[in-house]
Amino acid sequence: MNSRLLLGEWLPEPDRWEILSDSQAMRLAIQEAFKGAGQTSPNPIVGCVVLDGKNRFLAKGFHEVLGGPHAEVNALKELTDADVKGAKVYVTLEPCAHSGKTPSCAKALATLPLQQVIFGLFDPNPLVAGQGAQILHKAGIRVASFVANPELAKIGIEFHLKDVSTDVQQEWVSLLEQTCEHFLWNFRKQAPFVSIKVASSLDGQMALKNGESKWITCEESRVFAHYLRASHEAILVGAGTLLTDNPKLDVRHPRFQNKVNKVVVLDSQGRCLRDFSSLNILKVHQPENLIFLVGPSVELKKQKETILNSGVKVVNIGTAELNASVTVAQPLDPQLILQQLWQLNIKSILVEGGAKVISSFIRAQLAQRLYVFTAPIIMGAKNGRSWTEDLATSSMKDRIALSWHRTQEFGEDHLFTGRF
């Protein structure tokens, strides 16, 4: 998600020496974080802002790419020792305590003559989990979490936003959490983060019954949809979409020229594998990035050698062997799908369709975020396919209400996003 969509308004880039409040500094750090969206997965995006002792803006930075320097290092790199004397560092996530692809940020900050480090979120990674804050505290630097956090309170770390209402605090928690919702979900649930993306008409149709769906939304929406692809590790579609549209499902966005993503196809009967070589996804993706999840028993006799030699992954969801000959037309279990994809180290998934697959993830309550692009057109339910066609609500009390929702205009369309 981009920060304009999330924040509603955009804080202008400050000039050096401009005085910023604590809230402005943290908000600017959040905006900075989003500049790395799509480039850092499975690491979170992180932003950092440095003010001097009089709250004057000195520098900012963000985690630009997986394996590259962290936000704190990028923010501080142009500053001299004199600049950082008595400075305040605002960072969206607790500075890391451990050395991984890069050295520990907490240890690096601890060597500087800083006055204070204020971080947004407690890092649930067991390798950090309060230890970053403790390193700074022991080095004699005042350290505070921006919002109250029980884990940090247990180890005596103060929190910064004491004088605001619970509602305002909650707003900050949701803002900060949305910067790294995939990462937080992965650690809290040990499961991939699932987003659903739909291009819909005003009357909720995502295709016509004859399979036509190009194009419902405008060019601007479609560019942003590629940004969403770049922000997730894998795109997931059902056999229906693959066979009807024969899409490429790659990332085509000016900011993400070399972005490599995985594609997951739910193909319980192996229907897509029967005419395997005609699939466009084979032309644009490396085979190891294509994953076909098939049912426990699929008929693959003829193409089995071609498919297995091609290098694509074909994984049974169930117990039977790949070459078993019984065909059972049953949708794959979304829970088992996610377990399998987690085992394959996939941390975030963009479910792009079609109607049946989207409905099945919502029904199983296994999606965390929804993106609906709505175009100002009416397609008609009689000959259309609603993106909730397989969902039913028997009583208004059972309707699904989304939280943390926002909308943004893209050309003539509107994008709605919210959390399940």
User: Please, what is the end-to-end C-alpha distance for the chain in angstroms?
Assistant: 15
CA angle, 111 as apex, 109 and 116 as ends, to 5°?
50
Q: Is 267 in the site for ligand NAP (CB under 6 A)?
A: yes
Whether the CB-CB separation of 237 and 352 falls below 8 Å is answered with yes
Q: Are 354 and 244 in contact (CB under 8 A)?
A: yes
Per the annotation, the verdict on 72 as an active-site residue is yes
Should residue 207 be labelled a site residue for ligand NAP when binding is judged by CB under 6 A? yes
Nearest Cα to 335, choosing from 293, 297, 365, 369?
Answer: 365
For residues 34-73, which are near ligand NAP according to CB under 6 A? Answer: none
**Judged by CB under 6 A, does residue 241 bind ligand NAP?**
yes
Phi, psi angles (nearest 5°) of residue 223: -65, -45
Which residue among 9, 18, 32, 72 is the active-site one? 72
Is 353 a binding residue for ligand NAP by CB under 6 A? The answer is: yes
Size of the site for ligand NAP (CB under 6 A): 31
Residue 238 near ligand NAP by CB under 6 A: yes
Pick 180 or 266: Cβ nearer ligand NAP? 266
Q: Quick check: 334 binds ligand NAP (CB under 6 A)?
A: yes
- Of the two residues 50 and 358, which places its CB atom closer to ligand NAP in the complex? 358
Identity of residue 397: K
Structure tokens at 233: 């590790």
207 versus 314: smaller Cβ distance to ligand NAP: 207
Task: Kindly list the strands in the beta sheet with 313-316, ordered across the sheet, starting from the edge strand earlier in the chain.
Answer: 313-316, 290-294, 262-267, 234-238, 348-353, 193-200, 369-374, 413-419, 403-410
Residues 214-233 that bind ligand NAP (CB under 6 A): 216
Could you give the count of Cα atoms lying within 13 Å of 406 in the half-sphere of its Cβ?
16
95 or 238: whose CB is closer to ligand NAP? 238
Quick check: 131 binds ligand NAP (CB under 6 A)?
no
* 392 contacts ligand NAP (rule: CB under 6 A): no
Residue closer to ligand NAP, measured from CB, 102 or 244? 244
Q: Is 199 in the site for ligand NAP (CB under 6 A)?
A: yes
Instruction: Please report, for residues 23, 199, 204, 353, the alpha-carbon distance to residue 371 in angstroms, rounded to integers and kept in the order given.
Output: 28, 9, 13, 12
CB 239, min distance to ligand NAP, A: 4
Segment interacting with ligand NAP, rule: CB under 6 A, options 153-161, 206-214, 283-291, 319-327: 206-214
Q: Which is nearer to ligand NAP, 176 or 317 (CB)?
A: 317
Q: Which two tokens stand for residue 290?
A: 């294509």
Q: 381-419 burial string, b = 16+ CB within 10 Å, else e?
A: eeebbbbbbeeeeeeeeeeeeeebeeebebeebbbbbeb
- The catalytic site residues sit at 72
Contacting positions for ligand NAP (CB under 6 A) = 198-199, 206-207, 211, 213, 216, 237-241, 244-245, 266-269, 271, 329, 331-332, 334, 352-357, 360, 385
